[in-house]
Structure 1
Amino acid sequence: MALTKLKLASIVAVMVAAGTVATPGMAGQVSINLAPANASQQHMMQAGLGIYALVNGIQNGSISQNGLNNVAGLMQGGGNNLGVVHQDGNGHNGSLSQQNGNNSYGLFQFGNGTNAHVNQYGGQTGLGFVFGW
């Protein structure tokens, strides 16, 4: 799905209407999940994750945590999987399970106190960005 400025503005408007935008003293999270709509988008997303992995010295999977009280897990079964769980901030809980091979996913958590878990069952690709306050 191509995320145009109009679609992004619509998403923000819905979030505001639903009360998901932070106010002082309020805790919560916002998640943006991207999945390719066709083979071309899947190849582009896999290439982007591949470049991220190359720059960061990752072969099959990686967990990186910057902060306190973070919990992360990465489980892979099958060949040719690439999984990244990256946490910046405190109190995150995130996991990625990849089974049956040929999966690629990047889970990126920022801020504080986010909770995200992803399961892939073969030949799937995606990106998840979770922001918490």
Structure 2
Amino acid sequence: MTHHSHKIALAFVLGLTALAPISAQAGSLSLSLNARTGQEARALNTAIALYALHRDLKSGADIRQIGRNHAAGLSQSGGGNRAIIHQRGRNHSANLTQTGGDNGQVILQFGDGAHADIVQRGGQAGILLQFSR
């Protein structure tokens, strides 16, 4: 995959999150996109697969933490699960449980003190983008 196509994949994933519901609370912004149907799950999992290619992740999980005092917990059982957790800043926490197979989830946390707790039970997909201060 070329550098240009990596940028396209990342822009696609971030563009999808722009369509998601927005919630603001005490200086935070959270964009969450979750599939409601099998067709939506396949589309989101395709977007997650493109982002995973950008991150050089073929399957399984990738956790990257830049900053300090982060915590990330991940549990996967079943085949075909893919998880990406990226934390930048400080004091973020993310917990992700994937069971039953064919789940995909991206959690991106920026700023200070974002928290995520997600459970997927087979064939589910989601993208969560959090900014907190």
Q: Which residue of 1 aligns with 2:53?
A: 54
User: Does the 8 Å CA contact 1:64/1:86 hold for their aligned counterparts?
Assistant: yes
CA distance in structure 2 between the aligned counterparts of 1:76 and 1:103, rounded to whole angstroms: 9
**Residues 1:70 and 2:75 are matched in the alignment:** no
TM-score by length of 1: 0.76
TM-score by length of 2: 0.76
Give the number of aligned pairs: 117
What letter is aligned with 1:43? R
Flag the 1:49–1:71 CA change in 2: closer, same or farther, 3 A.
same
CA distance in structure 1 between the aligned counterparts of 2:98 and 2:36, rounded to whole angstroms: 20
Structure 2: segments with no counterpart, 5+ residues = 1-15
CA distance in structure 2 between the aligned counterparts of 1:53 and 1:34, rounded to whole angstroms: 17
**Residues 1:112 and 2:112 are matched in the alignment:** yes
Structure 1: segments with no counterpart, 5+ residues = 23-28
**Residues 1:43 and 2:42 are matched in the alignment:** yes
Of all paired residues, the percent bearing the same amino acid is 31
Q: Which residue of 1 aligns with 2:96?
A: 96
CA offsets 1:77-112 (integer angstroms, 9 cap, x no match)? 111101111111111011111011111111111111
Query: If you compute each CA radius of gyration, which structure gives the higher value, 1 or 2?
Result: 1
**Following TM superposition, by how much is the alpha carbon of 1:21 offset from its aligned partner in structure 2, in angstroms?**
5.5
CA offsets 1:27-81 (integer angstroms, 9 cap, x no match)? xx33221112433332221111101111211121111111111111111011110
CA distance in structure 1 between the aligned counterparts of 2:66 and 2:103, rounded to whole angstroms: 25
Q: Which residue of 1 aligns with 2:10?
A: none
CA distance in structure 2 between the aligned counterparts of 1:101 and 1:77, rounded to whole angstroms: 7
Q: Which residue of 1 aligns with 2:81?
A: 81
CA distance in structure 2 between the aligned counterparts of 1:77 and 1:36, rounded to whole angstroms: 20
SS at match of 2:84: strand
| Structure ranking higher in strand proportion | 2
